[in-house]
């Protein structure tokens, strides 16, 4: 890295942006406060360590067999350490409950905070936060295709207990790490072909969620979020936990509504959902992902969809009110690189939004000057954003430009290839 060139380019770019009234230093200051919750399951293809040989179910599938997959807790943390060292800022990690670190033979309805103590120790050492996810898939008790909405009370009770215990683990994370831990609930329940009864599964889900969440926990430590989906593989005709169901549930239970960018119809824009719920002071949890046709969960790229998400968060002043997580898994490429690409791109999108002359754009719109609004929006696309991004990486002591890929290639040669 040529330090002098980075600083010179930054100074020139800063002057360029200042001509439009953009405060670059303030934008960097805000970006330094943004925490992205990195998804642990990219590192091992969603296998976890509770049932490492369990076949993926619930409509979840990972394609590819790139070498070097993490097979142990220590390997996963080692890979995460490398990824975080290449990502600017201080962030979080999103864990699924199957990523326990214990020698105890336990099932999902038996998890306790003690089974995740080593994760907390690691997070404290790395100065990152932890979010959590109950795992309601890839388990014998989910083979019927139903969990919390199952007509079988024994199945429902199993998963209710699992969610209860997941909430306590999340609370433990928040207390120990002194930052809120989001407990995100997603389940794969539904039908492949047209059902006759669409109402009662949702009634059962409502009752199960209420029971699972019956204990009031301190929101300074943990907050629940509910994540809907249009459909999934094997449940193409009917998804019990739809967007509409969870939005209504979140609004009436005062919890977070999770918007996953890959869980809507291909013609829908996930970013459009934010301002629809913001007037109700509804909290949001994002799963930044990338859908391709009917499939979701591709590695996040800096495309128009991501930029619309970032712009909406910044333009509508929702950045401090939204929890941002990632959700993708790709086994066709280097898994550490996938983390780095997806997280850095999410941060790039937010930085681009922060470098927009928002006040000018809003004034032009309010004045009915749509010509200026369009002209300025287009002009900004050629501004020297890259120089600001390079400086942000430089000041955060992470590689600038493509230097990070050289680090990943070395890591693959020296670590991943030897597994």
Residues acting as catalytic residues: 186, 227, 229, 260, 263, 287, 295, 297, 327
Residues listed for the chain: 419
Q: How far apart are CA 165 and CA 97, in angstroms?
A: 10
Q: How far apart are CA 229 and CA 136, in angstroms?
A: 14
Q: How far apart are CA 95 and CA 101, in angstroms?
A: 12
- 36, 84 contact by CB (below 8 A): no
- If we measure between CA atoms, which residue out of 181, 211, 210 comes closest to residue 116? 181
Angle between helices 335-354 and 24-33 (to 10 degrees): 140
Written as six digits, the tokens of 220 are 């300074």
Dump the DSSP string for 355-419. TS-HHHHHHHHHTT-HHHHHHHHHHGGGS-HHHHHHHHHHHTTS--TTHHHHHHHHHHHHTGGG-
* Separation in Å, CA 189 to CA 147, 156, 329: 6, 12, 21
291-311 core/surface letters (b: 16 or more CB in 10 A; e: else): beeeebbbbbebeebbbbbbb
């Amino acid at each position: 890295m040529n330090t002098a060139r980075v600083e010179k380019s930054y100074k020139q770019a800063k002057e360029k942006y200042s001509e439009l009234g953009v405060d670059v230093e303030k934008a960097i200051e805000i970006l330094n406060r943004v925490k992205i919750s990195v998804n642990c399951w990219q590192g091992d293809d969603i296998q976890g360590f509770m049932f490492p040989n369990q076949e993926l179910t619930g409509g979840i599938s990972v394609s590819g067999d790139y070498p070097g997959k993490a097979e142990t807790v220590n390997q996963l943390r080692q890979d995460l350490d490398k990824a975080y060292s290449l990502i600017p800022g201080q962030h979080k990690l999103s864990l699924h409950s199957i990523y326990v670190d214990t020698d105890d033979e336990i099932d999902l309805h038996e998890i306790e905070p003690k089974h995740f103590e080593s994760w907390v120790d690691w997070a404290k050492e790395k100065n990152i936060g932890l979010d959590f996810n109950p795992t309601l898939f890839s388990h014998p008790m989910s083979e019927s295709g139903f969990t919390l909405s199952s007509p079988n009370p024994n199945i429902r009770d199993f998963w209710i207990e699992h969610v209860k215990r997941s909430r306590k683990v999340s609370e433990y994370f928040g207390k120990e790490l002194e930052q809120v831990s989001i407990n995100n609930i997603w389940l794969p329940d539904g039908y492949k072909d047209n059902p006759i009864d669409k109402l009662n599964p949702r009634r059962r889900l409502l009752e199960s969620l209420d029971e699972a969440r019956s204990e009031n926990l301190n929101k300074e430590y943990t907050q629940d979020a509910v994540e809907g989906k249009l459909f999934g593989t094997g449940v193409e005709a009917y998804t019990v936990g739809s967007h509409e169901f969870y939005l209504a549930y979140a609004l009436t239970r005062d919890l977070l509504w999770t918007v996953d960018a890959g869980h809507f119809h291909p013609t829908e824009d996930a970013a459009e959902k934010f301002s629809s719920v913001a007037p109700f002071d509804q909290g949001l949890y994002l799963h930044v992902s990338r859908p391709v046709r009917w499939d979701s969960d591709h590695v996040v790229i800096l495309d128009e969809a991501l930029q619309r998400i970032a712009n909406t968060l910044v333009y509508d002043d929702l950045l401090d009110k939204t929890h941002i997580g990632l959700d993708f898994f790709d086994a066709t490429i280097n898994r550490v690189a996938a983390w780095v690409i997806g997280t850095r791109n999410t941060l790039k999108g937010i930085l681009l939004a922060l470098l927009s002359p928002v006040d000018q754009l809003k004034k032009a719109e309010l004045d009915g000057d749509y010509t200026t609004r369009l002209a300025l929006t287009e002009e900004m696309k050629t501004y020297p954003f890259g120089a600001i991004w390079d400086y942000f990486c430089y000041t955060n002591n992470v590689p600038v430009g493509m230097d990070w890929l050289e680090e990943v290639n070395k890591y693959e040669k020296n670590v991943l290839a030897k597994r």
